[in-house]
């Protein structure tokens, strides 16, 4: 069997029925664009760890983002692992391979001055739609989680937000469709306590709510992901703040949490990370700045 034939079977039988639609589409795209042109015409019996390692080296030299390279390799590895489990090959073909080294990029976030300027602008504008920016700043919600929030997820009496779903933009049936789906991972399902000041703002927002979604939009589906990302970009430009993706709000939340002394385990739970080590890896830079500040406090008594 050719590897391209196996890839097609794996995608249709093991990925499509067991994964989110977005995952299936992403896997298929990575397979068609990167993996199959290089390895698709090899017979499974002729594939070897050395050929796989050469492929790793070739894609790591394409100048792609680390996350893209990691995603491509993950698709290849998962398909080969299932292949070995079904005994189409004598052993796991990637067993003797090494994944290219990935750089740990610094989390992009707002500094305190930029955050204060952004918050002041939101309060001055008094636009309900902009409240989502503030909510992400103080909960660490991903944009898909934020825009999937409905008022049923918010318990203002207890002061909590339940994160149980996410969303993304899609187009079908001749128009826009907001696809609501499960969260990114099972650990992403979580309950986040809200700061008291945020609860007060949310009560006012709910009194004037126009639909079921916390962040409303032009349609009954609430705000669209891409539109909201553009709105955030426009606000940053107006304020003279260097362009950052919406995910910078999540990073800002985590950085401020570290600065006020929040422990990593609690932060990991609030962010929906399945393991605190993920939090440590992503926010190493922020943690080191916090440690340096604490160490300098410790040494204040020195003459």
pLDDT of residue 147: 94
CATH class for the region spanning 3-85: mainly alpha
Q: What is the pLDDT of residues 18-61, one digit of tens each?
A: 888 888 989 999 999 999 999 999 998 888 888 999 999 999 88
Instruction: Find the range with the poorest average confidence among 91-100, 231-240, 273-282, 293-302.
Output: 91-100
Q: What is the pLDDT of residues 192-248, one digit of tens each?
A: 999 999 999 999 999 888 788 999 876 667 788 999 999 999 999 999 999 999 999
Above 80 in pLDDT, residue 178?
A: no
Residue 151: count other Cβ atoms within 10 Å of its Cβ.
Answer: 15
Nearest Cα neighbor of 271 from 136, 154, 150 is: 136
Q: What is the pLDDT of residues 263-272, one digit of tens each?
A: 999 999 999 9
Look at the domain 112-294 and name its fold: hpI Integrase; Chain A (1.10.443)
pLDDT band for position 173 (50/70/90)?
low
Above 70 in pLDDT, residue 70?
A: yes
Structural domain boundaries of the chain?
3-85, 112-294
């Amino acid at each position: 069997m050719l590897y391209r034939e196996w890839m097609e079977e794996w995608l249709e039988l093991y990925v499509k029925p067991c994964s989110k639609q977005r995952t299936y589409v992403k896997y298929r795209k990575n397979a068609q664009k990167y993996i199959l042109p290089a390895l698709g015409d090899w017979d499974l019996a002729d594939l070897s760890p050395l050929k796989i390692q050469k492929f790793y080296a070739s894609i790591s030299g394409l100048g792609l983002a680390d996350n893209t390279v990691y995603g491509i390799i993950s698709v290849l590895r998962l398909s080969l692992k299932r292949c070995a489990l079904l005994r189409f090959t004598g052993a796991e073909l990637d067993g003797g391979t090494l994944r290219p080294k990935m750089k740990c990029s610094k989390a992009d976030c707002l500094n305190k001055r930029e955050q204060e300027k952004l918050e002041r602008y939101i309060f001055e504008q008094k636009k309900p739609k902009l409240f989502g920016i503030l909510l992400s700043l103080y909960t660490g919600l991903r944009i898909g989680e934020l825009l999937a929030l409905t008022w049923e997820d918010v318990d203002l009496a207890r002061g909590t937000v339940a994160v149980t779903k996410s969303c993304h933009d899609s187009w079908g049936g001749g128009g826009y469709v907001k696809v609501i789906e499960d969260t990114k991972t099972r650990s992403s399902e979580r309950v986040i306590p809200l700061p008291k000041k945020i609860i007060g703002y949310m009560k006012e927002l709910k009194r004037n709510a126009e639909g079921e979604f916390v962040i409303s939009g032009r349609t009954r589906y609430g705000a669209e992901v891409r539109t909201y990302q553009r709105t955030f970009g426009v606000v940053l430009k107006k304020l003279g703040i260097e362009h950052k993706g919406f995910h910078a709000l999540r990073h800002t939340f985590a950085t401020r949490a570290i600065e006020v002394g929040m422990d990593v385990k609690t932060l990991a739970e609030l962010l929906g990370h399945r393991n605190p080590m993920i939090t440590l890896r992503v926010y190493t830079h922020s943690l080191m700045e916090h440690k340096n500040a604490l160490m300098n406090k410790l040494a204040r008594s020195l003459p």
